[in-house]
Amino acid sequence: MPELPEVETTRRGIAPHVEAREIREVIVRQSRLRHPVPEDLADRLVGARLGRLDRRAKYLLMPVVGERGGTLLCHLGMSGSLRIARLGELPKKHDHVDLVLDDGAILRYHDPRRFGFIDWLDGDVEQDRRLAKLGPEPLSEAFDGERLYAMSRKRRLAVKPFLMDNAVVVGVGNIYAAEALFLAGIDPRREAGRISRERYTRLADAIREVLAAAITQGGTTLRDFVSGTGEPGYFAQRLNVYGRDGEPCRRCGAELRLVTLGQRASVFCAECQR
């Protein structure tokens, strides 16, 4: 599914086309997403302007400027995407929602599996139940190795699912947790509570490194993912372990191993990761 770099790539791709633009029309072709599209969405949006787009974890936040206030909350789910289309560009199958803007651009939501959603929030978005208990952003100053060390004490679960807990840090999904653990030289099976402060410092640095690289290169090429401008990501060309079970480690040449942790596949190098 789209992870933090893919969502951030989408935000950066669509922002220049939608920020400060007036919404002229809302077209809902399929309202039955993970959560139903609000029935009054057009009443709230037509004639309003979109403010500065933001992201929290894997959620896209699209504030509506003016008397109406409020924020569009969008989650891409397993296979969703937001693209910029133009008037006259016919919708494809699974193009469920269009926001038609005043310059002829269309913000188009596409989701074959319909696990994503578009919702409306009034008031402080950080108080929404889906956002209120999220941990810090991994690229922010609030996240570091000291936080990982402190939150891991007496935790017996493996370090990889520990990293994927959104209360610990947001947006470190399966792909990037595997890659960061490889860069830090940490076995994903290790108990979170048995890893030293020094190693968590290295791991926090590795998380920032791998996420920043993925954002710079446009996310990770997955079967369903494209950026906001319709382009695939390119980070998959640099993956060291994810999806490479049975192949040689790029660092030492040993065969990469596959295990299941927290019901998720995890590939690692038993020689390089301890």
Query: Is 3 noted as a catalytic residue in this protein?
Result: yes
What average pLDDT does range 70-76 have in this prediction? Answer: 96
pLDDT mean across residues, the chain: 92
Strands (DSSP E) along the chain, which ranges?
A: 23-28, 49-50, 54-56, 59-65, 71-75, 81-86, 95-101, 105-110, 117-121, 257-261, 264-268
**Confidence check: pLDDT of 122 > 70:** yes
Query: Is 93 noted as a catalytic residue in this protein?
Result: no
Q: What is the pLDDT of residues 132-169, one digit of tens each?
A: 999 999 999 999 999 999 999 999 999 999 999 999 99
pTM of the model: 0.88
Choose the catalytic residue: 114, 190, 208, 264: 264
Is 257 annotated for ligand binding? Answer: no
Query: 224 pLDDT band (50/70/90 cuts)?
Result: very low
Is 238 annotated for ligand binding? Answer: no
Choose the catalytic residue: 49, 56, 58, 83: 58
Percentage above 70 pLDDT, the chain: 93
What average pLDDT does range 25-45 have in this prediction? Answer: 96
Query: Is 250 noted as a catalytic residue in this protein?
Result: no
Is 94 annotated for ligand binding? Answer: yes
**Token pair for 69:** 């206030």
User: What domains are there in the chain, each with its CATH number?
Assistant: 4-127 (3.20.190.10), 145-268 (1.10.8.50)
Phi and psi torsions of 183, nearest 5°: -60, -35
Question: How many angstroms separate the CA atoms of 93 and 172, rounded?
Answer: 31
Query: Is 58 noted as a catalytic residue in this protein?
Result: yes
Chain centre distance of CA 212: 13
Choose the catalytic residue: 2, 5, 63, 161: 2
What average pLDDT does range 83-112 have in this prediction? Answer: 96
Query: 67 pLDDT band (50/70/90 cuts)?
Result: confident
